[in-house]
Amino acid sequence: MKESIESNIKIGISACLMGQPVRFNGGHKRSRFCTDVLSKYFEFVGVCPEVGIGMSTPRQAIRLMSENADDSNIRAVGSDDASLDVTEQLIDYAEQKASEMNDLCGFIFMQKSPSCGVYGVKRYLANGHPEGTTSGIFAREFIARHPLLPVEEAGRLNDDALRENFMVRVYTYHEWTSFRQQGLTPASLIDFHSRYKYLVMAHSLVHYKSMGQLLANLTRDTLEHIADEYFEQLMTALAKPASRKMHTNTLMHLQGYLKNLVTAQDKQELTGIIEQYRTGIVPLIVPLTLLKHHLNHHEEANAYARQQVYLNPHPYELGLRNSL
């Protein structure tokens, strides 16, 4: 399904990750994964909030400060001169960019940044002592205005599972956006879910059940409201990286479509490979490849299974399942 390169998917990104010299010291934090790999698939839209609000390069670094030992009333102030307070400017800029950048399918933020960090940004007390962590001002406000948008930090993309999960969500978000632009009907919504059913199963059995229940009665509310609730559940489900146990369960369900079509020997081989994946001997790509091989050789009887997004949720060339 997603084995061709799509370059029309827009992804927001902290400009320093694209190699732009916008950091406080005049440097950058170029991410080779983003610039050399992901740029083949995405159209990146770079943003530096601190430069965006008029700060110079180089400039005094800012940090997050709060009067109390909690997350209340966090301010973005100068690390050398606390009288420099750019909190409101960053909030206003986030609101502006969130409105302008409403065609994104994801956002990659710079980790640890007081403006762009999503997780674990240091928070200080007025006396200069570190006191816990929080989110960067721009990232927090931007995400609040696009709560379902797939977001991740560049540093966390070094983790195999988090990287694959982010890509799953980006491509799902993109396909949903395209789907809604084509016009919504009960049949099209059911068809969309039928293709995403096993991908959801691999991430959350709770949502797998609740989404099925949601679509069981399309007359209880307007179709628009049901579709909005469906999408919220879909993105919430996919936000949880699929575990080895959940992948194994999903593979076994899909194997069931081959029950009366493959030989006993082929079935035994596939079952054995899935078990090897479950126990960590082989990566996910191995049972998936064998499963797709059999499904493709019995395509007339397996149209439903073969259309499952779970089999190809993102470009195969990225090799994201080679190390899961």
DSSP reduced 3-state for 132: strand
| Contacts with 236 (C-beta within 8 Å, 6 or more apart), sequence order | 148, 204, 207
Q: Where are the domains of the chain?
A: 9-158, 160-324
Instruction: For residue 131, give the H/E element and its range.
Output: strand 130-134
Read off the DSSP letter of residue 39.
G
Task: In whole angstroms, give the CA distance from residue 23 to residue 17.
Answer: 10
DSSP reduced 3-state for 206: helix
CB hemisphere CA count around 89 (13 angstroms): 15
Cis peptide before 186 (omega within 30 of 0): no
pLDDT tens, residue order, the chain (324 aa) = 444 445 689 999 999 999 999 999 999 999 999 999 999 999 999 999 999 999 999 999 999 999 877 777 899 999 999 999 999 999 999 999 999 999 999 999 999 999 999 999 999 998 889 999 999 999 999 999 999 999 999 999 999 999 999 999 999 999 999 999 999 999 999 999 999 999 999 999 999 999 999 999 999 999 999 999 999 999 999 999 999 999 999 999 999 999 989 999 999 999 999 999 999 999 999 999 999 999 999 877 788 999 999 999 999 999 999 999
Task: In whole angstroms, give the CA distance from residue 262 to residue 284.
Answer: 21
Task: In whole angstroms, give the CA distance from residue 114 to residue 76.
Answer: 7
- Per the CB < 8 A criterion, the answer to whether 4 and 312 are in contact is no
What is the CA 91 to chain-centroid distance, rounded? 23
Task: In whole angstroms, give the CA distance from residue 136 to residue 123.
Answer: 10
- In this predicted structure, what is the pLDDT of residue 1? 41
DSSP reduced 3-state for 123: strand
Task: In whole angstroms, give the CA distance from residue 192 to residue 200.
Answer: 12
Read off the DSSP letter of residue 37.
I
DSSP reduced 3-state for 85: strand
Instruction: For residue 46, give the H/E element and its range.
Output: strand 42-47
